[in-house]
Amino acid sequence: MASEAPSLRVWLFPLLVASLLVGSFLYYSYSSNGPYGQVVSQSNRNLEKALIDITQDTSAISIVILGSSLTQYALIDPVGLEDSISQLTNRKAKVLRVALNFMDMNLAQHIDFFEYISKYPPNYLFIENFSFNLDHDGKSAIPEQIDVALLQIRNLVRNALGQPAHDNYFTKWYTFDVKPLPDEDFYTHKFDSMTFKALLRSKESYVRQVSENSVANKAYEALMKSNARVVFLDMPLCTRFPHNFLGQQSTSELNKILEFYKTEYRVDYWRFPYPMDISYFFDGAHLNSKGAMQYQKWFVSEIASRK
Amino acid sequence: MYKFLATYLPKSLANIVIGLWYFVLIMINFYCGIAFAQGTFQYVGW
Amino acid sequence: MKLLIEVILFAIPMILLAWTLPKKYVLLSQIVITGLFIAYQSPISFAILSTITFGNYYLLHKAVLPKPVKVAISLAILVLLIVSAKILFTIHHSWIIPLGMSYYIFRNIHYTVESYNGRIQNEGLLFYLAYNFFLPVLIIGPINRYPEFVRDWQRRRMNNEYFSLGLQRMLYGVSKIMIIGNYFLSSKFPSLISNLGENYVWLKTYLNTITVVLNAYFQFAGYSDIAIGISLLLGFRVMENFNFPFLASNMQEFWSKYHMSLSAFCRDYIYTPIASYFRKPMLGVFITMSIIGLWHEITMPFLIWGLLQAFGIYLAFLFKNSADTWLNKNLGRIFVLNYFCLSCVIIDYQELGKALEVYKILFFIP
């Protein structure tokens, strides 16, 4: 009578081949010539070039904004920002927006941001408070190295099958003025209720301790010495969520951290002054074009009034 | 499944088929695991 | 998922040692590795399980007391422990039931009752420790039986077929979790369902109900397969937990194929004594299913869920004389799937009010 499983040696082939494939893939992902290595080196080159470009003209106000996709959608048009700031301040303005998906302290270190910003200090550095002073559950569990490699393979296969490629959000690592496509929810104002429902189930954010931000702290110190103004920029979320996904206790913890940065490194904190209705967002967290207009107007007027 | 294959196929062929089946299943598991991890977190990604 | 990976990581050295160490040290190595695992995951659970193991062993085998008294004390303590843990969990949702407690309490109740029945006599402490500290089945079962565990140990030998079968079970278990559970039933299907238009409220609600239950089943069945697979790699043939339950054509058959280790335990230690004592099988069914419901959580939704399962079994009893035709069988399967999934609405939503809202949609009640 046939047994329920084959002999043990039958397992050699699938386990060996699978291990070989997975091992090769991991080697490809993590090697410096692999897709991740290429993205990082391109990012380093472009970031340095962009920083040199905006800081070399000392007559212009140089502004660098660092954040996640929240920042990307809130301040969608760096060129538009430059024009608006110039109009209000009668000075040329140069804006560099570095907005990467899933931005956090770890990711900023992947692209060596704090090293470059210390080397080329701008007049203003805006850092997204949500991504740098807070941690959140449910961040991507996939290491960036594997994520890039997978995306590349997926798009290779999709191109071969004649299907449109998946959005390569790693282009934002080296192209800093990426705009959404015209048919995206940002412009069409179609509401992404699936993401919104998932966000409603989000757990509370954690406040990062100052000691966890040593790389950034060094940069803040260097920027303070260069008389650069560093500002933690608050991103609005729709009123259905607790602000920054924080409870009462963690909000007061955050306030203590902000107070510390103010005292120690002269880092300011700018908060959008009024709550935004859900109709200004396309998923409850990311602003749509209507909301972005409001946010940009406020941002520009703040710079003009506080310069 | 092996029992079924071994009943109707010669043992060596059944072994080859089941070996391939295991390999395909392992790779699909990797794909689904990664897709699930990415998909879950992209919903709440910023 | 993290817990599963950690179980596998701890299981690897356990399996390697199981076949490289001299036989007299193998059980000890299993006890130590399992002990380390549970102490790392949940020190409270480690403390409770250790206390139960040593305490119960000495009470049953060494204490100088009449046998019925020993058994009564043992059962009282075990039942009190599980009920207290469940009640604490109900009151304070930040309290998490110690890892695996629901399962190892039942295992020890089984041990105590079998000691009373004379099927377990003066067994060595080592076997009892190994039975309680057995990693594969620790967290979510199956609720394996002590005599079979000892018998498997005594018959244990290098067996290529067991290894191959063990690897196969693990692969199938992981596939159920990853492919069917996580990928299809947790991601793709919900996404497809939510993309149905606004007018399909009933269909969306119904499909969501089925998807949630099937996801829970495949995840649970997958973890059981992994537990059985690791046990096979250690040389133990642990009992099955699922046997294609959704192919059952009535609820009685369903419960003989779904979470079999739990239903077998409840049949042997709750249903049989009650049904034989009162000579009322249906009373036994209702009490047993209520206890199965409350074993999950001591809350009203779970009690109602248990009673609904009992009612389903009662319906099977009423229709037991219907002809065993192809049509009846398949109608029965459709009934079983829908009955079980709809009965789970009450525990999916936890609040009776929300569950009633869903029932109103599903049964077209305005």
Q: Is the pLDDT of residue B25 over 50?
A: yes
Q: Do B32 and C179 touch (CB under 8 A)?
A: yes
Which two tokens mark A37? 């290595």
Question: Please, which residues bridge with residue A135 across strands?
Answer: A206
pLDDT given at position B1: 82
From the list A10, A69, A138, the residue facing B19 with the nearest CB is A10
pLDDT given at position A99: 92
3-state secondary structure of C277: helix
Q: Is the pLDDT of residue A223 over 90?
A: yes
**For the segment A75-97, what is each residue's pLDDT rounded down to a tens digit?**
999 999 999 999 988 889 999 99
Share of chain A above pLDDT 70, in %: 98
All residues of chain C having their beta carbon less than 8 Å from the beta carbon of residue B33 are 178, 182
| Closest approach of A199 to chain B, Cα-based (Å) | 6
Residues with Cβ within 8 Å of A114's Cβ and at least 6 positions away in sequence, in order, are A108, A215, A216, A218, A219
**Alpha carbon distance A270, A302 (integer Å):** 9
**Alpha carbon distance C266, C290 (integer Å):** 11
pLDDT given at position B44: 41
Instruction: Please give the backbone phi and psi of residue A232, each rounded to the nearest 5 degrees, phi first.
Output: -80, 120
Mean pLDDT for the stretch of residues A172-200: 84
3-state secondary structure of A228: coil
Q: Which of A3, A8, A16, A283 is the mutation pick for testing C, counting most C CBs within 10 A?
A: A8
Q: Is the pLDDT of residue C94 over 80?
A: no
Mean pLDDT for the stretch of residues A233-245: 88
Q: What is the DSSP letter of A229?
A: E
Instruction: Please give the backbone phi and psi of residue A63, each rounded to the nearest 5 degrees, phi first.
Output: -130, 130
Q: H or E stretch including A6? A: none
Query: pLDDT class for C118, splitting at 50, 70, 90?
Result: confident
Share of chain A above pLDDT 90, in %: 58
All residues of chain B having their beta carbon less than 8 Å from the beta carbon of residue A68 are 46
Which two tokens mark A68? 């996640």
Q: Is the pLDDT of residue C120 over 60?
A: yes
For C149-165, b/e burial (b = at least 16 CB within 10 A) is bbebbeebeeeeebbbb
Higher-confidence residue of C2 and A67: namely: A67
Which two tokens mark B12? 């060596």
pLDDT given at position C217: 96
Q: Judge whether A58 and A119 are in contact, CB under 8 Å.
A: no
Instruction: Please give the backbone phi and psi of residue C124, each rounded to the nearest 5 degrees, phi first.
Output: -65, 150
Q: Which of B3, B36, B42, B44 is the mutation pick for testing C, counting most C CBs within 10 A?
A: B36
Q: Which chains reach chain B with 3 or more Cβ–Cβ distances below 8 angstroms?
A: A, C
**Alpha carbon distance B6, A6 (integer Å):** 9
**For the segment A16-62, what is each residue's pLDDT rounded down to a tens digit?**
999 999 999 999 999 988 999 999 999 999 999 999 999 998 899 99
pLDDT given at position C325: 87
Query: pLDDT class for C321, splitting at 50, 70, 90?
Result: confident
pLDDT given at position B38: 72
Residue with tokens 């009893």: C317
Contacts 24+ apart (CB under 8 A), C10-16: C10/C34, C10/C36, C10/C37, C10/C135, C11/C135, C11/C136, C11/C230, C11/C233, C14/C135, C14/C234, C15/C230, C15/C233, C15/C234
Q: Is the pLDDT of residue A238 over 90?
A: no
Q: Is the pLDDT of residue C298 over 50?
A: yes
Q: Do A4 and C160 touch (CB under 8 A)?
A: no
**Alpha carbon distance C163, A111 (integer Å):** 47
pLDDT given at position A138: 62
**Alpha carbon distance A76, A73 (integer Å):** 5
Which two tokens mark A292? 């972005």
pLDDT given at position C89: 83
Please confirm whether the linkage preceding C366 is cis (ω < 30° from 0). Answer: no
Query: pLDDT class for C61, splitting at 50, 70, 90?
Result: confident
All residues of chain B having their beta carbon less than 8 Å from the beta carbon of residue C168 are 2, 22
Q: What rounded mean pLDDT belongs to chain C?
A: 90
Q: Which residue of B lies nearest to A144 if distances are taken between CA atoms? A: B38
Query: pLDDT class for B46, splitting at 50, 70, 90?
Result: low
Query: pLDDT class for A179, splitting at 50, 70, 90?
Result: confident
**Alpha carbon distance A298, A292 (integer Å):** 10
Query: pLDDT class for B41, splitting at 50, 70, 90?
Result: very low
pLDDT given at position C121: 73
| Closest approach of C139 to chain B, Cα-based (Å) | 22
B36 touches chain A (CB under 8 A): no
Q: Do C175 and B29 touch (CB under 8 A)?
A: yes
From the list C164, C191, C194, the residue facing A8 with the nearest CB is C164
pLDDT given at position A141: 66
Higher-confidence residue of A176 and C244: namely: C244
Q: Do C194 and A194 touch (CB under 8 A)?
A: yes
Q: Do B46 and A101 touch (CB under 8 A)?
A: yes
Q: Do A5 and C194 touch (CB under 8 A)?
A: no
**For the segment C228-279, what is each residue's pLDDT rounded down to a tens digit?**
999 999 999 999 999 999 999 999 999 999 999 999 999 999 999 998 899 8
Q: Which of A17, A25, A136 is the mutation pick for testing B, counting most B CBs within 10 A?
A: A17
| ipTM score assigned to the predicted complex | 0.87
All residues of chain C having their beta carbon less than 8 Å from the beta carbon of residue B22 are 168, 171
Mark which residues 19-48 of C lie under 8 Å from A by CB. none
pLDDT given at position C24: 86
All residues of chain A having their beta carbon less than 8 Å from the beta carbon of residue C165 are 4-5
pLDDT given at position A202: 78
User: How many beta carbons lie within 10 A of that of residue A214, not counting itself?
Assistant: 11
**Alpha carbon distance C134, A4 (integer Å):** 25
pLDDT given at position A73: 93
Q: What rounded mean pLDDT belongs to chain B?
A: 81
pLDDT given at position A97: 94
Q: Rounded to the nearest 10 degrees, what angle do helices C43-57 and C101-116 cross at?
A: 0
| Closest approach of C121 to chain A, Cα-based (Å) | 35
Residue with tokens 């049949």: C267
Q: Which chains reach chain C with 3 or more Cβ–Cβ distances below 8 angstroms?
A: A, B
Share of chain B above pLDDT 70, in %: 83
**Alpha carbon distance A131, A78 (integer Å):** 20
**For the segment C166-211, what is each residue's pLDDT rounded down to a tens digit?**
999 999 999 999 999 999 998 888 888 887 877 888 999 999 999 9
Mean pLDDT for the stretch of residues A98-123: 92
Q: Do B45 and A69 touch (CB under 8 A)?
A: yes
